[in-house]
Amino acid sequence: MSTIKKIEAIIPPPAAHMVGDGFRVHGFFPGGRISKQRMSPFFLMDYNSKVEFPPTDKPRGVGVHPHRGFETVTIAYHGRIAHHDSSGNSGIIGQGDVQWMTAASGLLHKEYHEETFAKEGGMFQMVQLWVNLPAKYKMTAPKYQEITNKMMGKYQLSDNKGVVEIIAGEYDNAKGAASTFTPIQMYNARLKMDAEIDFKFPATYNTGILVVEGSVTINNETAQADHFVLFGNEGELISIKASEDSILFVLSGEPIDEPIAQYGPFLMNTMKEVQEAIADVNAGKFGVLED
């Protein structure tokens, strides 16, 4: 018999700040109630809630910068995002798609609003995660996964009440498209009003749900749009009912029980490794990428 997974906190969106000139984000973690290890293996979550960008001839975004020791995962809800990195990877994702970049041993990358979207302007909404890598994988070769919505596993709710899109992991035998280094469950649950669904995750997994759209009741507590629901490490069962048409971004993963040393765009186990990363960037070992 599964026990209810207790809600630890329902967190309103922190004050927004700009990342570059193209991403207006609420930094849910780390910070505030959620420490650097609390949502491991997920280290950082920036949420760009809905914002209208006016047309521009120069695409907004973030210029060339390095990463080492982790993965960046970008989920698009509105707008289009272009990615380029020094390993030769590039891609464009639109509504419902995901970019999964494994920086690992190190690369340079940049991300901008896609050119046509920038010129036309429009609604923009996305999530970016930093997913930590265990020490044994931090220096593996970089890679890039462009995961379109069509590639994702889909679980259809009965009576046309919605769909669960499985980005990573699996749900009721529907499997996600992403390859991961540690056990991760990552879904978009698109629910119609009055839809009901249950999720089960191990008690030891760190688990959270971002309400991207709408309003839902989760284990008898109400969570509104743009709020993050943090679960305690006890119990397994999450029961959800949508009060209106809603979108939920669901995260659960096995923690990485290792020390974290983070400085800027580097996520390592020791500060010595961070200093080595900085030296390698300065020596040109992360490759070349024009701004």
Q: How far apart are CA 262 and CA 40, in angstroms?
A: 14
- Residue 98 scores a pLDDT above 80: yes
Domain that holds residue 13: 7-282
Position 52 scores a pLDDT of: 98
**Residue 289 domain-assigned?**
no
**pLDDT surpasses 90 at 153:** yes
pLDDT for the residue numbered 197: 98
In DSSP notation, 278-289 reads HHHHHTTTT---
Average pLDDT of the chain to the nearest whole number: 97
Per-residue CA distances from 231 to 4, 48, 55, 74, 170 (Å): 10, 22, 40, 22, 20
**Percentage above 70 pLDDT, the chain:** 100
205 belongs to a structural domain: yes
Is residue 130 in a domain? yes
Per-residue pLDDT averaged across 84-90, rounded?
96
Average pLDDT over residues 130-148: 97
State the pLDDT confidence band at 1, using cuts at 50, 70 and 90: confident
pLDDT of 18 over the 80 cut: yes
Task: Tell me whether residue 20 is in a domain.
Answer: yes
* 290 domain residue, yes or no: no
Residue 2 lies in a domain: no
Kindly state whether residue 258 falls inside one of the protein's structural domains: yes
Q: Is the dihedral of CA 165, 229, 129, 125 positive or negative?
A: positive
Segment 154-201, tens digit of pLDDT: 999 999 999 999 999 999 999 999 999 999 999 999 999 999 999 999
CATH number at residue 162: 2.60.120.10
Instruction: Give the chain's domain count.
Output: 1
* Residue range 196-227, pLDDT digits in tens: 999 999 999 999 999 999 999 999 999 999 99
Does the residue 288 lie in any domain? no
